[in-house]
Amino acid sequence: MVRKEITGKRDLTFSGWIRTNCKDSKGSGKLTVTDLDFIFRDYGSNKIQLIESKIKKGSMNYGQSKTFEVLDKIIIEGCKKNNIDYKGFHLVRFENFSPEDGKIFWVKNRVGIEEQITKEELIRRLNMDYEN
């Protein structure tokens, strides 16, 4: 079992501060800011994957998608150089808020084909017990 969350909720104070004090994505600055939801690393099997999750079947906006695309390419190369099994950068979409209250959708490498999966399959994939 992974370490429990410290607060059980996400504090958005810093996020709000960034959005008040940094350049805008529109105009001359073109600064986009996004967070990454989860990085899964299994030191025993030397595997790593990144997961972005969305509730209410949400999707990534253009800036987030393009940023993650660049990050994915960098990670692929870094993992090759360090002999790490990179399982990809995936999007998990929940019909509602979690695997417990609705359908679950897995999008392989963020932009691939979306497939509906079970809670058990989600656990298997988050544990990286699958082939690329």
Question: What is the separation of C-alpha 22 from the centre of its chain, rounded to a whole number of angstroms?
Answer: 23
Which pTM does this prediction carry? Answer: 0.84
pLDDT the model gives residue 24: 80
Closest CA to 111 of 71, 60, 53: 60
Question: DSSP code of 27?
Answer: T
And the tokens for 24?
């805008």
- Measured distance CA(124)–CA(127) in Å, rounded: 5
Closest CA to 91 of 117, 74, 11: 117
In a domain, 132, yes or no: no
Range of the structural domain that residue 58 is part of = 34-126
Number of structural domains found in the chain: 1
**Helix or strand holding residue 18 (H, E):** helix 13-21
In a domain, 71, yes or no: yes
pLDDT in tens, the chain (132 residues): 656 656 667 788 998 999 899 988 776 667 888 889 999 999 999 999 999 999 999 999 888 999 999 999 999 999 999 999 999 999 999 999 999 999 999 998 867 789 999 999 999 999 999 876
In a domain, 21, yes or no: no
Question: DSSP code of 52?
Answer: E
pLDDT the model gives residue 1: 60
